[in-house]
Structure 1
Amino acid sequence: MSKLKIASWNINSVRARVPIVGRFLDEEQPDILCLQETKSEDKVFPAELFTSRGYVHHALNGQRMHHGVAILSRVPLEEPGRHDWQDNGEARHVGARLPNGLRLENVYVPAGGDIPDRTLNPKFGQKLDFIERMTRWSEDLKEPTLIVGDFNVAPMECDVWSHKALRDVVSHTEIEIEALARLQAAHDWVDLGRKFVPAPERCFTWWSYRSPDWTKNDRGRRLDHMWASPSVAAQAVMHKVHEPCRAWERPSDHVPLVVELSL
């Protein structure tokens, strides 16, 4: 294998999106798919959807009706593990090592509620603490790593449809952006999205279900990310956002990201 294609997608219930997950796999043919917000216990995870297509290696961390992450792979997954960065047992992370030595981490950061104040809104404090635990982990990270998932933070002004309108809205507040910047600096993470789509070019990965026509007003945010260790980022030859998936039947409010690494 000279190249490795890895996809990441907040699917917002994998069992509810079986048709579009199958379509995406058939059309894009990634070697590995990382899912967030699967909302499925491991015992009822739709494994056949993946094994029938050659994704026979699974690393699952599921939870009934909420959260949940999964790695589905055509290549072996070694040393699977979970971090409890939420510090309450929620299923928000799963990781594994690939045969080439790359560590792949799949994370679903909490949304953080509606009020950007940890005193008034404990969920916001949990989100900041989650990112802080990721930062402490990143500081000690020695091996080449790719971390993907729904970070639930749009860090740049151009990562949202209107910086002015959203600067006090959770996912784009100054305190979240600063927390994410500390996380990025802790390992010199390379943001592959902006490596291939430089700011201030438009690049959104999420559009609210509340919008009657997401294509017309285009009120998107870049909440989903792929970050790589510097040595891994040097191997990245392609990164894309599959925006058309947002228009498929019964879509997720997020769209998939895909990176291709030259090995």
Structure 2
Amino acid sequence: MSFTLATWNINSVRLREGLVARLMEDEAPDILCLQECKSPVEKIPLERFHELGYTHMVARGQKGYNGVAILSKLPIEDAGDKDFASLGHARHVAGRLENGVTIHNFYVPAGGDVPDREKNEKFSQKLDYLTEMRDWFRDSRPEKAILVGDLNIAPREDDVWSHKQLLKIVSHTPVEVEHLDNVMEAGGWHDVTRADIPEGQLYSWWSYRARDWDTADKGRRLDHVWASGDIRAAAHGSRILRDARGWEKPSDHAPVFAQFDL
């Protein structure tokens, strides 16, 4: 089985239904993982997606915030979810393809603005969330698995526009990077995107606050595609659709793609 997978923090699937449909029409990934859907599952606008061939979905949702969904042209069964850090948030869902590959779709907490556990509860929750991810994958090491999503951390120096200036900014602090590295190591995960694009600045998110995001280009690579060690060699063709950040009324994230031959 060969398939193309995309992951995208859509920042409201109902508000940006048209952008999701545009991606489906223009790029036609076989599987599209969405984060920050901001919708109960029953209100995700499926009719248009079904017309475009995405007739399968596993999702977890809640009103107004969070929410994760896997939309697929390929048959996929619900493989459960886990409430990491007991936040009561819809931040994880898993689906299993007919070939036995499990896809984990994550929306890791952003962590607020202050990178200090004592001063910022949201930052503490983020680190706790990552710690529980580490422990879970260590205890049940994944096989034939793909992990995607908005992990809200840009780990490498060239995953941000300025390593020096962002060292104390949430999403690139050393403690966050260490926690993410621990998740990756515990699960035997491999960064598919950087395996395919090993050198150079690479971003998937640009702030709404920038007057001209494209010219300023102060981005961060917050969105990721990982593969378990047993299928890492099957992944290729990674890319980030930067143009989507410039679509009308866009998400502040761009879709990240990878292909798998399994």
Structure 2: how far apart are the matches of 1:4 and 1:242? Answer: 17
Residue pair 2:79, 2:102 contacting (<8 A) in 1 also: no
Instruction: Select between 133-142 and 59-68 the one with higher mean Cα deviation.
Output: 133-142
- The equivalent of 2:163 in structure 1 is 163
- The equivalent of 2:143 in structure 1 is 143
Structure 2: how far apart are the matches of 1:117 and 1:79? Answer: 36
Structure 2: how far apart are the matches of 1:86 and 1:225? Answer: 21
Instruction: Tell me the SS of whatever aligns to 2:57.
Output: strand
Instruction: Tell me the SS of whatever aligns to 2:128.
Output: helix
Structure 2: how far apart are the matches of 1:95 and 1:71? Answer: 8
Letter in 2 for 1:27: D
Q: 1:79 to 1:21 in 2, by over 3 A?
A: closer
- CA deviations 1:10-56 (Å, max 9, x no partner) are 00001111111111100111111100000001121111121111111
Structure 2: how far apart are the matches of 1:46 and 1:86? Answer: 29
- CA deviations 1:185-217 (Å, max 9, x no partner) are 112211011101113x11100000000001111
Structure 2: how far apart are the matches of 1:98 and 1:136? Answer: 25
- The equivalent of 2:21 in structure 1 is 22
Structure 2: how far apart are the matches of 1:69 and 1:50? Answer: 16
- The equivalent of 1:193 in structure 2 is 193
Q: How does 1:83-102 map to 2 (within 5 A)?
A: 83-102=82-101
- The equivalent of 1:133 in structure 2 is 132
Structure 1: how far apart are the matches of 2:163 and 2:142? Answer: 35
Structure 1 position 231, deviation (Å): 1.8
- The equivalent of 1:123 in structure 2 is 122
- The equivalent of 1:154 in structure 2 is 154
Letter in 2 for 1:155: P
Residue pair 1:86, 1:92 contacting (<8 A) in 2 also: no
- CA deviations 1:93-143 (Å, max 9, x no partner) are 110111011010000000000110111001001000100111011112242
Structure 2: how far apart are the matches of 1:14 and 1:128? Answer: 27
Residue pair 1:207, 1:221 contacting (<8 A) in 2 also: yes
In the alignment, does 2:254 pair up with 1:255?
Answer: yes
Over the matched positions of the two proteins, sequence identity in percent amounts to 48
- The equivalent of 1:228 in structure 2 is 227
Letter in 1 for 2:155: P
Structure 1: how far apart are the matches of 2:87 and 2:168? Answer: 27
Structure 2: how far apart are the matches of 1:79 and 1:62? Answer: 14
Residue pair 1:112, 1:124 contacting (<8 A) in 2 also: yes
- The equivalent of 1:8 in structure 2 is 7
Instruction: Select between 248-257 and 83-92 the one with higher mean Cα deviation.
Output: 83-92
Q: 1:79 to 1:19 in 2, by over 3 A?
A: closer
Q: Kindly report the root-mean-square deviation, in angstroms, between the aligned alpha carbons of the 2 structures.
A: 1.0
Query: Which sections of structure 2, spanning at least 5 residues, go unmatched?
Result: none
Structure 1 position 88, deviation (Å): 2.1
Structure 1 position 78, deviation (Å): 1.9
Query: Which sections of structure 1, spanning at least 5 residues, go unmatched?
Result: none
TM-score, with length taken from structure 1: 0.97
- The equivalent of 1:76 in structure 2 is 75
TM-score, with length taken from structure 2: 0.97
Instruction: Tell me the SS of whatever aligns to 2:105.
Output: strand
- Which aligned segments of 4 or more residues in structure 1 are displaced greater than 6 angstroms? none
Structure 1: how far apart are the matches of 2:49 and 2:31? Answer: 10
Structure 1: how far apart are the matches of 2:47 and 2:85? Answer: 30
